[in-house]
Amino acid sequence: MGRSPDKDQRLHWDETYKMEDFFGPKASLFAEKSLEIFKNEGIEVLLELGCGQGRDTWLFARNGISVYAMDYSDQGICQMREKAREHGLDKLITLKVRDVRRGIPLPNDSIDAIYSHMFFNMEFLENEMSMIFQECLRVLRPGGLNIYSVRSENDPHYQKFTHLDEDMYQNPMGFAVHFFTEEKIERLADGFLIDSITEFEDPDPPFTKMLYDVVLRKPMQ
């Protein structure tokens, strides 16, 4: 029987987010690139999965995009609520503590795009991710985008440290990381059109990673 996410990882993230701006104060390079796509596509309403402490959320909201931001860390969401009010962004950002394995609490065809940066690298089994992707497909409007990044099998940490299950390894910092191949990305894209799969080097702290940049699109109905 496969190992599935448990409260230990959630508590680990809560503890980690006691450190302000754990991933740095600036938006990720991936978010900046994604924002250009969102602008070109006329995206107005965005769902962000695994928003963490909000470094990418702020970028989208400051550019006039309404963001539904979800994370399973109470610590991260509480920090974001305070900052959203401080920066006058609370009218553009809706925050929710949510384990999306329980589903995405939004109506069908209600979101222009979905964004996540390394969210699917969490301690999800592939069958759990398949369910989440089908939920993403459900809540996206026809023609909507699902843009996400994940660490690739060419990442320097792949198959290193403590093996947990499938392609998951726990690193010395205590984080469980699920690594991806192009074949896995294609399997999880069931029902979507694949616009692009691009591998790139991500220098964002705390260390350089190899990621896939994936752009999926819900077919027009």
Low-confidence ranges of the chain (pLDDT < 70): 1-7, 9-25
How does strand 111-117 pair with strand 45-49? parallel
pTM of the model: 0.89
Could you give the CA distance from residue 115 to residue 35 in angstroms, rounded to a whole number?
10
Could you give the CA distance from residue 151 to residue 180 in angstroms, rounded to a whole number?
6
3-state secondary structure of 216: strand
Domain 7-16+29-217 has CATH 1.10.3470.10: no
How do residues 47-58 score in pLDDT, each as one tens digit?
A: 999 998 889 999
For residue 73, give the nearest of 165, 5, 147, 171 by alpha carbon.
Answer: 5
How does strand 168-170 pair with strand 162-165? antiparallel
Per-residue model confidence (pLDDT) at position 52: 84
Could you give the CA distance from residue 139 to residue 68 in angstroms, rounded to a whole number?
12
